[in-house]
Amino acid sequence: MAVDYHRLAQNDLEQGILGMSVAWVDLVSAGFAFESLIAHPSYREMLSSDRAALVEAAVIAYCRPFSHSGGLGAEWPAFAEERWRLEHESLLNYRHAFVGHSDADPRTVTIETDDSLRGWSSRVNLPIYMPGRAEAALEMCRDLHARLNEHLNQAIAELIRRERDGGPPDAPVRVTLPR
């Protein structure tokens, strides 16, 4: 994804820096959450509440830059690997249906008679975030993080150049976005 930051209007440059900076922090948080999930003893236990909480934290942090205004634009994530694109879409769908909302459409409920005092039991059937997926998601976070670093370095260098325009080339610059 090539962007000529020299050609962007000031507002577009600043909005791009703000969106990429916030996304950068979210992806760092997502990376830490996926690392914590992978390292947690419950990672291979399908019905662990600790595991479920770590999955939700990782999914929320990862999806945040792609699911609100002011985040990353449509050109992101542009993954080099097809498996990452599929995992990215899967995480967005998982967040939308199960983590960020409580949509009834993709969920099912199973009710069974049994020998209990009530005479029945029930459970809500949810998709399981299978072990092995977190490793792929962590690789995606690292890839996005590296590419965001490159773009932020270019965009911020252009912002600093513009702020110093007409003044001393080594003048200190401090900009808080949004202005």
10-45 confidence digits (pLDDT tens)? 999 999 999 999 999 999 999 999 999 999 998 888
Average pLDDT for 102-107? 64
The distance in angstroms from the start CA to the end CA of the chain is: 27
Average pLDDT for 129-152? 89
Please give the mean pLDDT across all residues of the chain: 86
Band (pLDDT 50/70/90 cuts) for residue 69 is low
Q: Which of 8-22, 30-44, 106-120, 149-163 is the least confident region?
A: 106-120
Q: In terms of pLDDT, which residue wins out, 45 or 128?
A: 45
Average pLDDT for 108-127? 81
Band (pLDDT 50/70/90 cuts) for residue 173 is very high
CA–CA gap between residue 53 and residue 72 (Å, rounded): 25
CA–CA gap between residue 158 and residue 162 (Å, rounded): 6
Average pLDDT for 100-128? 76
Task: Name the 3-class secondary structure at 34.
Answer: helix
Q: In terms of pLDDT, which residue wins out, 80 or 36?
A: 36
Q: Is pLDDT at 125 greater than 80 in this prediction?
A: no
Within 40-99, residue ranges assigned H as helices are: 49-63, 82-94
CA–CA gap between residue 43 and residue 31 (Å, rounded): 15
Q: In terms of pLDDT, which residue wins out, 6 or 96?
A: 6
